Amino acid sequence: MRIVSLLPGATELVCALGLEDHLVGVSHECDFPPEVVASLPRLTRSALPEGLTDPAAIDAAVREKARRGEPLYLIDEERLAALEPDLILTQALCEVCAVPAGQALRASQRLRSSPQVIGVNTYRLEDLFVALRQIAEAAGVPERAEGLIREWRARLARVEAAVSGAPRPRVLLLEWLDPPFGCGHWVPKMVEIAGGTEVIGRPGEPSRRIRWEEALEAEPEVIGLIPCGYRLPEVIAARTLLERLPFWRWFPAVRMGNVYALEASAYFSRPGPRTIDGVELLAAVLHPDRFHTDLVDQAACRLAMSE
């Protein structure tokens, strides 16, 4: 079985199933586990201009590509053909986040190997288990998925038990900062399990652009910054965008000192094995007196309000 993964979360699922030796190619965004993906061929690249770092500029470039009907990602079809994959993993959830299924399917139809193409589409947290089963069954190891699912469900149950009965703070997780986007899909359920109440996002629904006034009216007691694809140092640096807002100090979470930068890329942006870690991380942030994980010391940073 020769597997190509064009989705970072799917790459992590493949490795969680013990199938890393079957991976023959990945996307340019696949970075975990590093010891597995570092030497694998990169089969995609971004079609956005190089050097974009400002969130507003990135958003504008994405919207311009959409207006023109141009793809956000390019596939190296010659290299893909040379790998002769039996299975290609892609997604149809978000054209901004990774290579969309339609683009991958068109590329696969030109291959001699006639690979199976699976769209790993995690709309809700429960879909993570569905995706794991799909990959395991395609690779002929369905029993491995069931073992992992039992383990992950047990960890989620431990979190729920730990925070049961505790006051549920009002939480706002922001998936983009300029313009602001509330969270969506699997993330609101993560908040619920971790013992919070997400004030904007709804389970299974897409993240959506919001007005700052809407966020303020929601009166969040905790704000978590999880801009899509950002690592923790990048999230911390992006705080300046928020501190420039004239009403930033009006948020209850800001007044209470409950604004957190979180490692977005690993634990929130991509549904995969580390999504379970993300739930535990949130629980440790929201209820430090009831739940702890060592991850909180390396993947979360409480942001003090600048004077």
Q: What is the pLDDT along the chain (307 residues), one digit of tens a residue?
A: 999 999 999 999 999 999 999 999 999 899 999 999 999 999 988 766 666 666 777 767 666 666 766 566 788 888 888 899 999 998 765 454 556 556 666 666 666 767 888 888 889 999 999 999 999 999 999 999 999 999 999 999 999 999 999 999 999 999 999 899 999 999 999 999 999 999 999 999 999 999 999 999 999 999 999 999 899 999 999 888 898 898 999 999 999 999 999 999 999 999 999 999 999 999 999 999 999 999 999 999 999 765 4
Phi, psi of 235 (to 5 degrees): -65, -45
* pTM over 0.85, yes/no: yes
User: Residue 195, Cβ neighbours under 10 Å: how many?
Assistant: 25
Give dist(CA 175, CA 18) in Å, integer: 31
Report which of 52, 43, 55, 56 is spatially closest to residue 8, judged by C-alpha positions: 43
Superfamily of domain 165-302: Nitrogenase molybdenum iron protein domain (3.40.50.1980)
pLDDT at site 69: 61
Q: Which of 65, 30, 27, 32 is nearest to 49 (CA)?
A: 65
pLDDT at residue 301, rounded to an integer: 96
Angle between helices 8-16 and 125-138 in degrees, nearest 10: 60
Chain centroid to Cα 112, Å, comes to: 33
Query: Residue ranges per domain, the chain?
Result: 3-121, 165-302
Q: What is the pLDDT of residue 307?
A: 43
Tell me the C-alpha distance between 298 and 284, whole Å. Answer: 12
DSSP character string of 1-31: --EEE-SHHHHHHHHHTT-GGGEEEE-TT--
Token output for 247: 């009403």
Residues 6+ apart with CB under 8 A from 247: 212, 216
In CATH terms, the fold of domain 3-121 is Rossmann fold (3.40.50)
- Cβ(13)–Cβ(135) below 8 Å: yes
Please give the DSSP secondary-structure letter assigned to residue 37. Answer: H
**Interacting residues of 155 by C-beta distance below 8 A, sequence separation 6+:** 276, 279, 280
Query: What pLDDT, on a 0 to 100 scale, did the predictor assign at position 208?
Result: 94
- Domains 3-121 and 165-302 equal at CATH topology level: yes
